[in-house]
Structure 1
Amino acid sequence: MDTHPTPRPDVAAIPRYVPGRRPTPRPGLTTYKLSSNENPYPPLPGVVEAVAEVAPRSTTYPDPTCPDLYAALERRHPGRALLAGTGSVALIFHTLQAYCRPGDEVVFAWRSFEAYPIATAAAGATAVEVPLTVDGRHDLDAMLAAVTDRTRVVMVCTPNNPTGATVTQGELVAFLRALRDDVLVLLDEAYVEFVRDDDPVDAAAILDEFEQVVVLRTFSKAYGLAGFRVGYAVGAAEVVDPVRAIVLPFGVTDAAQAAARAALATEDVAQERIAALVAERERVLAGIHAAGWNVPAAQGNFIWFPGDATIEPLMKAAEELGIVVRPYPPDGVRVSLGVPEANDRIIELARAVRPSC
């Protein structure tokens, strides 16, 4: 038969997510995957034991109400509505599905998180991509100007992935006060734990003043649980609760819930590791600047090398050094922080390639 089921006409135009490539083994050289912003440390104390404890329950469905995980999170976000999902990226998809109709617009900075245009198209909405400033930051004035009567959602990523630049509290408050109250704002803080800005976004204060904001967090980065796929949304109940109708049933497994609870219970160790990564970030940035690169002020666990002309040389030099980095043609290359030896090679990479801008 020549006929077959056909998808929605717009599905073919949806961009595909490209995961970070894994390194190819090199004889005599330890290789490092620095392409996915993964935490380089082993699981936090208690995580493996907590997962092993719930493993015998793997023949039954997990509790979709996540009672113990929500109890732990409520101590950090008192009085807020909480919604767990299979990573914060899943909650982006679910929220856009809950709030967008075909023809609605979703405004976000670009380049930013690669899943934004995918999630927008999957919801049948139209992406409105607003260029970043020359130093890799959100241009909030331009984003505000891009809002129309068709805008349903605005997404703000801070620190921005892949450039690492942040939005300040003052900038965000001014933006939100100028925005229509009926526009939902997704504040994506996947890397918030690594921020050391002078005026960082205060999510609690933002939620106190603006009920249209939903904050997204993840356990994948700072807490090293990328393989368990668990994140959560925080906001006003009237805004968050409609998304519950969309979330994947039984999506957050018992193992993921247990791992997240264990990670929260070892906050002191997590903070020590975060501080170590931040110190490494500053050391690597100093080396990159000394090599002549003008890179954005990194506030995540990754560093952005801008410039189309340098993508191919950076990729070639990284391969020779035994590290795998993440290209984003035509804008630049993102390199995740790893263990100190891997980070030494990032500095070598900066020295090996002449910057184009």
Structure 2
Amino acid sequence: MAESGSNVTDLFRASTAHSPSFAALSRAAGDGRELVDFCIPCNPYFPTPEIFAELGRRLREILTYYPSSADTITAELSSVLGLNPQTVAMGNGSTELITWIDHLLVRDSLAVPVPTFGRWTDQPMETGKRVDMFPLPETAGYALDPAAFVDFVRARGSRTAVICNPNNPDGGLLPRRQVLALLDALHDLDLVVVDESFLEFADAEPDPSVAAEAVLRPNAVVLRSLGKNFGLHGVRFGYLVANPGLAGRVRAALPKWNLNSFAETVVFLLKDHREEYEHSLRLVRRDRQEMIWQLSRLTGLTVHPSQGNFVYVRLPEAVDGAELRDRLLQEHGVLVRECGNKIGSSSRHLRLVVRPQEDVRRLLAGLEQTLYGARNGSAPQPLPAPYPLPAAHPLPAAHSTGTAAYGTGTAAVDRLLTGA
């Protein structure tokens, strides 16, 4: 057990912007132990067992034959969602679309709040763009101030702006009216992207999406994910919505068969299983509320409100997230996302995916025992950091904000911004 646990933790230590895959972790564990996954943000209630059984029955057909063209699959998805197919481009995962957005639509600079999904900072930097990172203040619960972000974009001269709504990893959500006001304020930019990959899990208002308005604007793109919502990360599919000109540019650049046969099969199953899908979202929202309440009862843990299918927590003082992650995995078979490698976050933060109550009880038991040593009636003792606690992941100097007007709530990053 100790040797396999070491193999697994080595994978995390070797990882940079993203966690190792679940398949790689399972292979490294090598002992047949079932891991409870609080790391990968899937929908645990969808597809239903009946849908998986249907996919199983059709497995030979799915794997044997080529998929239809992306145009055929896009037309079906658009019909199910009530969209004009000329305003839609489907990709092999949202990351493929982020890549093409960067190559085709982003010129020299991109502004994005941090912490956020890593590809929005990493992808443009990989192609030589300037990335202007707007720190979200921990003291304000990582809430985005739209007016301050607009001022930041103007001060930096950014030509593209991106927000994730809800944001990953904290789950913060801007109301629809504020997102529309942001689009209005930045109407003169080359491009404004609203990444709504986790929006299906939100319940703060009836219809928070701005996709319908994006198609009417010359510079707006809304990005949506299907894999996360449908619990099918492995299928790799997502889509964007924009005016026909922008959507058409992306569609024209995509490979002819960029979508696989599994993606096609699932898309054509959707219209017959919308009720089960909607029910799964209600279950996730219920579990999120319960999970936030239960985590909030742990001494020293700061739990942020969330509209995603994950919860962002800050650990007690003197606790190192990487050590806690390793011990939860080795001693309890619980896999969590430690956020020390996310720009604007630190190793004192975890992102915990919303899961059913049976799994949450296992997580809570592991946290209580590992953090406080509460077993056999012993007095709780905080888990010490086994090595110096790392500071928050700094903003790269070449891509820093260059202004002290925005505090991060993290002293190390604030000192970096002010030059202190």
Q: Same fold (TM over 0.5)?
A: yes
* Cα contact 1:168–1:200 (8 A) shared by 2: no
* Cα contact 1:26–1:322 (8 A) shared by 2: no
* Cα contact 2:19–2:337 (8 A) shared by 1: no
Please give the alpha-carbon distance, in whole angstroms, between the structure 2 residues aligned to 1:173 and 1:312.
Answer: 39
Please give the alpha-carbon distance, in whole angstroms, between the structure 2 residues aligned to 1:85 and 1:295.
Answer: 34
Are positions 1:342 and 2:348 aligned together?
no
Are positions 1:318 and 2:328 aligned together?
yes
Aligned to 2:152: 146
- Where relative contact order (Cα < 8 A, 6+ residues apart) is larger, the structure is 1
Question: Which portions of structure 1, spanning 4 or more consecutive aligned residues, are displaced by more than 6 angstroms?
Answer: 26-29, 354-357
Aligned to 2:12: none
Please give the alpha-carbon distance, in whole angstroms, between the structure 1 residues aligned to 2:93 and 2:271.
Answer: 16
Given the superposition, is the C-alpha separation of residues 54 and 214 from structure 1 closer, same or farther in structure 2, using an over 3 Å criterion? Answer: farther
Are positions 1:297 and 2:308 aligned together?
no
Q: 1:76 aligns with which of 73, 76, 81?
A: 81
- Structure of higher CA gyration radius: 2
Aligned to 2:254: 247
The letter of the residue matching 2:328 is A
* Cα contact 2:196–2:222 (8 A) shared by 1: yes
Are positions 1:261 and 2:268 aligned together?
yes
Q: 1:37 aligns with which of 35, 41, 44?
A: 41
Bigger shift: residues 309-318 or 172-181: 309-318
Structure 1 vs Structure 2 CA RMSD: 3.1
SS at match of 2:132: strand
Q: Percent identity?
A: 22
Unmatched 5+ stretches in structure 1: 1-14
Which structure features the higher share of helix residues? 2
Please give the alpha-carbon distance, in whole angstroms, between the structure 1 residues aligned to 2:142 and 2:367.
Answer: 18
The letter of the residue matching 2:361 is D
CA offset at residue 84 of structure 1? 0.7
Bigger shift: residues 60-69 or 184-193: 60-69
* Cα deviation digits, residues 134-169 of structure 1 (max 9, x gap): 212233233212325853321111111111111111
SS at match of 1:151: coil
Are positions 1:284 and 2:294 aligned together?
no
SS at match of 2:279: helix
Are positions 1:328 and 2:329 aligned together?
no
Q: How many residues align?
A: 341
* Cα deviation digits, residues 109-144 of structure 1 (max 9, x gap): 111002212221233322111111321223323321
Bigger shift: residues 293-302 or 242-251: 242-251
SS at match of 2:81: coil
Normalising by structure 1, what TM-score? 0.83
Aligned to 1:137: 143
CA offset at residue 253 of structure 1? 1.2
* Cα contact 1:20–1:326 (8 A) shared by 2: no
Are positions 1:178 and 2:180 aligned together?
no
Given the superposition, is the C-alpha separation of residues 35 and 56 from structure 1 closer, same or farther in structure 2, using an over 3 Å criterion? Answer: same
Aligned to 2:377: none
Please give the alpha-carbon distance, in whole angstroms, between the structure 1 residues aligned to 2:120 and 2:29.
Answer: 32
Aligned to 2:120: 116
Please give the alpha-carbon distance, in whole angstroms, between the structure 2 residues aligned to 1:342 and 1:233.
Answer: 33
Given the superposition, is the C-alpha separation of residues 165 and 52 from structure 1 closer, same or farther in structure 2, using an over 3 Å criterion? Answer: same
Normalising by structure 2, what TM-score? 0.72
Bigger shift: residues 284-293 or 309-318: 309-318
